[in-house]
Chain A
Amino acid sequence: MANSEEQIRSLVFDALRAALGRPVELSDDTNITEGLGLDSVAVMDFVMEIEDALDISIPLDRIAEVKTIGDLIATARDLKGNR
C-alpha cells in the first residue's frame, strides 16, 4: 500500500500525466488548475485515481482547497493517516 509521501507523490504525478495525456514537468509547486489548465470536473476525475490507489475518499470541500500538487499530497496523507 502506497503510504509514504514519496509514493503518494509518484501516484499523483502518474495520474496527472495520464489525465493530461501528455508528458509534463511537475513539482509540488505546480498549480493544478491554473498551471495545467484542468477544469473543476477534470480535477475531480483525476483525484478519483488517487482515491482508488489509496483507498480514501477526499470530500469535495477538501478538493476545492487544493491549489498545488503539494496541497493534494498533504490532503491525501492527512486522510490516509486518519483512517
Chain B
Amino acid sequence: MALFDKYAPLMGQFESLESTGYNPFNVSFDRVLSPTEGMIAGRRILLLGTNNYLGLTYDPDVIDAAVAATRNLGAGTTGSRVANGSYGGHRQLERHLADFYGRRHCMVFSTGYQANLGILSALAGKDDHLILDADSHASIYDGSRLGHAQVTRFRHNDPDDLDNRLRRLADTPGDKVIVVEGIYSMLGDTAPLREFVEVKRKWGAYLVVDEAHSLGVLGRTGRGLAEAAGVEDEVDFIVGTFSKSLGGIGGFCVSDMDGFDILRVASRPYMFTASLPPAVVAAVTEALNQLRHRPALRQQLMDNARRFHAGLGDLGFQVGPEASPVVSAIMPDPKTAFAFWTRLLEAGLYTNVSLPPATPKGLALLRSSVSAAHSRSQIDHALSLFADTGRELGLIPAEPVVQPEIRAAAQ
C-alpha cells in the first residue's frame, strides 16, 4: 500500500464520488446508439459530452471503409511503422491530410496525445525553448517535458506576455518554439492567432498550432483557426487529432518545413509504438473525405453551438466568451458541478465535469460538446434540462435573463 500512499488525497475524493453511485470520471455506457444517444443503466441518454463534432462515428461510408479494411488487411498492424513497416493506408492518409492542408509533409501518430508528445519532444531539444500558452492541454505539457527543452508558459491568449517571454530569451541561445491551440478544450475560446503571428515574426520564433478542437470546425474549408485567421503561411506546424471531428483515434502533424521527415526516426512517440490499425486508418480517411465534401456539417455544428451557447447565456449561466462546439457552464464549486452533473444524468443528459488543475483559473466546469448530429429539438431539450436543474440548485434566476422572443427579434 505504501507505494500508493501519495495518492491518498486523490483516492479519498474518488471513493467519495464512487459512493454516490454517480462518478463523472467513471461512466460506463451499456451501449452507444448513435452520435447523440446511448444507454446507461438501461436508460436512454442524450449525449452532450463526447467531442463528436461532426457526428461521423456512425456514417455508413465511414463504417463500410473500416469493415472492408479489417476484412482485407486484418485487425491490427502488430508493430511500429519504423521497425515493422507502414501499410499503404498510413501513407495514403498522410498524403490526403497534406493535400487538405496544402502542405508538403504529414506524419500520422497513433493518438492525438502522442502527436503532441512526438512533435514537441522532437522539435525542441535540450538547448531549445518551448513557450506554451498557460492553458495548454496536458499532452502539450507532457510533450514539452519529454524533449528536455527549457519550458516557460505565458498568460493565456496574451500576445504581450508572449512578447515579454521572448524578449527575456532574446540573448539566450537555442531555437524558440511557441505552442498554442486553435480552440481551447475547457472554455471553447480561440487564440488571437494574428497577434501571436506578429510576435513570432518579431522574434524569429517557430509556431505550432494544435487544432485538435478546431479541425472540421473553423475556417472556410474546415482546416481550423489558422485558416479562419488567414495566417496559415505563418504557422510552421499544425497538430491535430482524429478523435474529435473525424470520429476515430490518432493524431497528425503537417508542415512545409524542409527535412520534416527526419522526425520519423527522431520522434520516440512515433517510433516506439504500434501504428494505427487498418480499420481506423480507413475510417479516418473516409471521415476526412466527408469533412471536405460536406461543408453543411460544419454549418449545422456551428448553428447548434450558437444555439446552445446563447441559450445557456440567456438562462443566466456564466459561459465561455464565444460560441464554439465546446460550451462550458461555470459552476461555483466542484460540489455544485457534481450535483448538477448527477441531476442532468438522472434526467437523461450526459455532460462532463471538468475540475482544476485541468481547468484554467481554478474553475469548476460543467462542460458540454455539441455535434452537427444533434437535432434542434435535442439542443432545446438539453437547454430545458439545464434550466430546470439550474433553478433547482439556485444558480440561475427563475426567469431567463434574455427572453427568447427578444433574442429572436434581435437576430
Interface residues of chain A, those whose CB is within 8 Å of chain B, are 39-42, 44-45, 48, 52, 55-61, 83
- Given A42-B362, A45-B134, A48-B155, answer yes or no on A59-B357 (Cβ-Cβ < 8 Å): no
Cβ of A42 to closest chain B Cβ, rounded Å: 6
Tell me whether B169 is interfacial, beta carbon within 8 Å: yes
Residues of A within 8 A of B168 (CB): 55-57, 83
Given contacts A57-B165, A59-B150, contact A39 B356 (CB under 8 A): yes
A58:B152 contact, CB within 8 angstroms: yes
Render B165-198 as a binary contact track against A, CB cut-off 8 A, 1 for contact: 1001100000000000000000000000000000
Point out the residue from B144, B165, B362 that lies within 8 Å of A60, measured CB to CB.
B144
Report whether B356 and A59 are in contact in the complex, using a CB–CB cutoff of 8 Å: no
Nearest CB of A to B133, in Å: 12
B153 touches A60 (CB 8 A): yes
Q: List 23 A-B contacts (CB under 8 A).
A: A39-B356, A39-B362, A40-B357, A41-B356, A41-B360, A41-B362, A42-B357, A42-B362, A44-B153, A45-B134, A48-B134, A48-B153, A48-B155, A55-B164, A57-B152, A57-B165, A57-B168, A57-B169, A59-B152, A60-B145, A60-B151, A61-B150, A61-B151
Number of A-B contacts (CB under 8 A): 40
A-facing mask of B345-359, CB < 8 A → 1, else 0?
A: 000000000001100
By a CB distance below 8 angstroms, the chain A residues around B169 are: 57
> In the assembly, what is the distance between CA of A58 and CA of B168, in Å?
11
Beyond A42-B362, A48-B153, list 6 extra A-B contacts (CB 8 Å). A41-B357, A48-B134, A52-B164, A60-B141, A60-B153, A61-B150
Cα separation A48 to B153 with both chains bound (whole Å): 9
Measured CB to CB, the closest approach of chain B to A30, in angstroms, equals: 19
Q: Is the CB of B361 closer than 8 A to any CB of chain A? A: yes
Hey, what's the 0/1 contact readout for B329-340 against A, CB within 8 Å counting as 1?
000000000000
> Which residues of chain A are within 8 angstroms of B144 by Cβ–Cβ distance?
60
Are A39 and B151 neighbours in the complex by a CB distance under 8 Å?
no
Within 8 A of A (CB), among B299-348: none
10 interchain residue pairs of minimum CB distance: A41-B357, A39-B357, A60-B151, A57-B152, A59-B150, A57-B168, A40-B357, A57-B165, A59-B152, A39-B356
**A45 in contact with B361 (CB, 8 Å):** yes
Contact of B152 among A39, A55, A60 (CB under 8 A): A60
Most buried by A among B134, B151, B165: B151
Asked if A59 and B361 sit within 8 Å, CB to CB, the answer is no
Q: Pick the residue among A44, A52, A55, A58 that contacts B134 (CB under 8 A).
A: A44
